[in-house]
Each structure stands twice: as structure tokens, then as C-alpha cells.
Amino acid sequence: MDRGIQDIQFVIKDYLKKTISVGDIVVDATAGLGRDTLFLAQCVGAEGKVYAFDIQEQAIEATRELLRRFNMMSNVNLLHESHSNIPNRVPNGVKAVMFNLGYLPGSTSKIITTPETTIKALEGALDVLASNGIITIVVYRGHEGGLRESLALIDFLSNIPKKDFCVLQGNYLNQGETSPYWIMIQKTRRIANESP
């Protein structure tokens, strides 16, 4: 059933579908159960490329299994390593990067994304992003460590240069202080030698 805006990803996935074209290069920075990786693979099609990162073997296997079920493995590079390696693994000119922070659904909430690696990954993602490319982040504050990560992210993203990037945040106003929220970042800086 379509949950509309009760689904925190509703707005960002709608926007990503309009932004991503067949043949694009995109990144899932937190593969988890593979749902976002599958979504991205479907957006870029067989001519595109998805780089999907996760530090947990269990997440990589779940993602591989989901992609196989949908016959979508061929254009996905599954990387069992930290998203802080984005600059070493991903070429320039990426159209979209998705971050879905927190812990693997249905698994231990002890293995979580952390401000240190998330911000390092974001720095890398901001670098490899194409002009007009988009980074989306879903931030969860309800688990231990979530609030610390949220505050660090807000601090970091409030201070990236406004001449190069536009940062937008989407909150629920009536769902409590620890409800999830999303952030979208668009690279507004033109890049030399890049086709429009």
C-alpha cells in the first residue's frame, strides 16, 4: 500500500525519479536490505551504474539476493566497505547519492552510521557529484547515537558554501522531536568541461 508522506522517502524518491536518467552513475551509500539499491538500479537501467556500499556482510548479501530476484545485478557494483571510500571507488560525474542512516532494519542497532564516517562520506560525495546532481539523506534520531549524528550533520551541512551547493531539509511538524527527517543537497556549481 502507498503510505504517501508517512513514508519518509516519499518526496525524495519522487524527486530522484525526475532527476536520474537512464545511463547515469549513482551511489547507494548505505545498501542495508537493498531496497534503495534496487530503486536506483531501476532508475539508471542496464546502461547505467550503481555503486552500493555497506560495512555489514549481511546487508551486502541481502542486497545481492534482492537484486538477483529482480534480475538487476548486472549494473550494480556491491562494495563491502565503508562509504567513506566513495572518492576511491566512484568516478566523478555522479548524478545521485542516497544515504539512509542508522542501523540495518531487523538487525542489531549496535552497528550504526556514525558522524565521523558519514561526514567523510559526504565530503567525498560532494566532490564526485555532477553539476545539478543530488545527495539525499534520511536521518533517524530515535536510536542511541542518532541524535549525535543528526546534530553533527546539521552543523556540517549548514556550513557548506552556498555558492556551490543548495541544502534543503524536510521535517514532520507533528510527529515528535525524534521523528526522522530528510535532507537534499544539490550541487549548483558548474564544473569545467562538463556537458550541461
Ligand X SMILES: C[S@@+](CC[C@H](N)C(=O)[O-])C[C@H]1O[C@@H](n2cnc3c(N)ncnc32)[C@H](O)[C@@H]1O
| Residue ranges binding ligand X (CB under 6 A) | 30, 32-36, 53-56, 59, 82-83, 100, 102-104, 111, 113, 117
Of 24 and 36, which has the nearer Cβ to ligand X?
36
**Strand partners for 165:** 187
Whether residue 182 contacts residue 169, with contact meaning beta carbons closer than 8 Å, is answered with yes
Least Cβ distance, residue 187 to ligand X (angstroms) = 21
Q: Is 79 within 8 Å of 85 (Cβ atoms)? A: yes
Q: What is the DSSP string of 121-183?
A: HHHHHHHHEEEEEEEEEEE--SSTTHHHHHHHHHHHHHTS-TTTEEEEEEE-SSS-TT--EEE
Q: Which position's Cβ is nearest ligand X?
A: 32
Q: How far is the CB of 118 from ligand X (least distance, A)?
A: 7
Per DSSP, the three-state class of 36 is helix
- Residues 56 and 31: their CA atoms lie apart, in Å, by 9
Contact 23, 47 (CB under 8 A): yes
- Min CB(25)–ligand X separation in Å: 18
> Grid coordinates in use for 101?
542512516
To ligand X, the closest distance from the beta carbon of 174 in angstroms equals 23
- In whole angstroms, give the CA distance from residue 22 to residue 24: 6
Q: For ligand X, which is the closer residue by CB, 56 or 169?
A: 56
Minimum distance from CB of 34 to ligand X (Å)? 6
The distance from CA 5 to its chain's CA centroid, rounded to whole angstroms, is: 19
If the CB atoms of residues 55 and 185 are measured against ligand X, the closer one turns out to be 55
Residue 120 or 131 with smaller CB distance to ligand X: 120
For ligand X, give the closer residue by CB, 32 or 48.
32
Q: Which is nearer to ligand X, 78 or 185 (CB)?
A: 78
To ligand X, the closest distance from the beta carbon of 181 in angstroms equals: 14
